[in-house]
A and B are shown apart, each in its own frame.
Chain A
Amino acid sequence: MKKKNYLILGILFLLLSTPSVSNAMHIMEGFLPAKWAIFWAIVSLPFLVIGLRKIKKVFKDDVNAKILLGLAGGFVFVLSALKIPSVTGSCSHPTGVGLGAILFGPTVMTVVGTIVLLFQAILLAHGGLTTLGANVFSMAIVGPIVSYIIYRGLKNTRINKRFTVFLAASFGNLATYVVTAIQLSVVFQDPVTGLMGSLAKFLSVFAVTQIPLAIVEGLLTAIIYNLLVNYNSKGVVNIENI
């Protein structure tokens, strides 16, 4: 029973954490030339393989975990298709970076995130097939890892749990944004100011949307975390170890 709850909780976070598979930080189709498209795919591949291995192991212990993971994936995808108003007035899609990685591990997140990104590219025209590798790296690998580290790191301190969740989610988001900016600036180096120049450009341009989004998502995640802890205490949903 405990294992099942562990799984359920894991999924819970998995959903919340799944890579920012939904905001405007998806690098769009065709943006990266073949060299870089392949580069990021190769970089992401080992993480994906590790994630798959871990998942296979989990499935061996619990045949029903597959269903849970499937449900989680569907959930995350739909999450990413929702629209929430951002403080700057524009609409954005929630992402949920990192939190999921917390219990289930960022490696499993990588797999689900990749699948969701694939579906987004085909069904929603967010991101792309050629840029899948790059997006996976920023949203399904780095983001979750950052959130995971922050959450884990602050877990045993006296800092308010909700705040920890907020920080983990926001920073996971921000990490994705920074990585994406780096990925773009490396390819499109500024003719005058070089790599650092283009990095500065991309970071500042996207900061306008990404930083408020990160905050909003952090808040959202904290709210959801709260609600779920509530459900847990009322026995609606059986989750241990939050």
Chain B
Amino acid sequence: MLLIDKYAYTNRLTNTNPYIKFAIVVIALAMATITTNIYINLSILIIMSMLTTVVAGIPINKYFKLLFIPSTFLVLSILTILISISRVDIYAWRIEIFNYYIGITESALQESILLSTRVFAAMASTFFLGLTTPLNNIIRVLKKMYLSNVLIELLVLIYRFIFIFLKEAMEIHTGQELKFGYSNMKNSLRSTGLLISSLFTRLILRYRDMVVILECKLYDGEFKIGD
């Protein structure tokens, strides 16, 4: 289910130095968000995309699909920024309804274009990180950056446990689907509620068992990850 995670472990750049990849992405993100130049953003977009698809070997069609995940938010937000409603006419393009003007100003247009390029440049950068670098390695980099130990431990644990719950959630969901659990709104709501409570109950039971198992592993309070 987590496609990005799968690619992170199976692409051509999986085993390359994570510190370098991390640094590249940080620089790219910084450039995209600090400068206000459309061409820089587009360059970043192109370079990152090439790195991800050509160098790392992520299939292009999958890559584009990923880029469009947040498209709803993007489109909605850009439209919101683009369009203004007022009684005053200072628009580059507008229509008139009753006494109001609904239109797009020149500045809004510029801003939207810049925003779009910036968003895609940034997304391409983050995708490069996510698609080529296993999260375990990312955590190691964060550890070297002196992030709080407790935080690192939680990152390690949560990353591991995500997959336990994903598997269970899918199993429960499939079981429910087979019993027409999602055939209409009311059922869906109820099934989802049941799914979540089941997951939670299993969480508590897992917790109890894990406490026992941890004792057998001589757990002393720390989840070290060495180097």
Contact = CB atoms under 8 A, between A and B. Distances in A.
Asked if A and B are interacting partners, one says yes
Interface of A: 8, 11-12, 15, 24, 26-34, 37, 52, 55-56, 59, 63-64, 66-75, 77-79, 81-82, 84-85, 87, 94, 111-112, 115-116, 118-119, 121-126, 128-130, 184, 188, 190-193, 197-198, 201-202, 205-206, 216, 219-220, 223-224, 227-228, 231, 236-238
A191 B203 contact: no
Contact of B201 (A64, A124, A188, A237): A237
B115 interface: yes
Given A78-B162, A219-B189, A122 B135 contact: yes
A68 B157 CA distance: 10
B58 interface: no
A16 to B, nearest CB: 8
Given A71-B157, A115-B158, A125-B127, 16 more contacts: A11-B203, A24-B72, A52-B148, A67-B210, A74-B157, A74-B163, A74-B164, A79-B196, A122-B126, A123-B2, A124-B69, A130-B29, A188-B81, A197-B86, A216-B189, A224-B200
Given A30-B122, A71-B207, A122-B129, A191 B107 contact: yes
B207 A193 contact: no
B207 A67 contact: yes
Contacts of B223: 66
B14 interface: no
30 contacts: A8-B207, A30-B29, A30-B32, A30-B120, A59-B150, A66-B157, A66-B223, A71-B161, A74-B161, A74-B163, A75-B161, A75-B203, A77-B158, A78-B162, A78-B199, A79-B196, A85-B188, A87-B185, A111-B151, A112-B154, A115-B154, A118-B155, A119-B159, A190-B84, A193-B86, A198-B81, A201-B84, A201-B85, A231-B197, A237-B201
Contacts of A227: 193-194, 197
Q: For chain A, what secondary structure do more than half of its interface residues adopt (helix, strand, loop), or is it mixed?
A: helix
A111 B150 CA distance: 10
Nearest to B83: A201
B30 interface: yes
Contacts of B200: 12, 15, 75, 224, 228
Interface in B55-81: 66, 69-70, 72-74, 76-77, 79-81
Nearest to A127: B70
B145 interface: no
B33 A33 contact: yes
A73 B90 contact: no
Contacts of B10: none
B72 to A, nearest CB: 6
A212 B195 CA distance: 21
A28 B158 contact: no
Interface residues of B, number: 85
B108 interface: yes
A31 B119 contact: yes
A216 B126 CA distance: 32
Contact of A69 (B30, B86, B127, B154): B154
Given A77-B162, A81-B166, A70 B118 contact: no
A70 B196 contact: no
B86 A37 contact: no
B47 interface: no
Task: Select the residue from B2, B4, B34, B192 with max chain A CB neighbours within 10 A.
Answer: B192
A208 to B, nearest CB: 9
A220 B122 contact: no
Contacts of B161: 70-71, 73-75
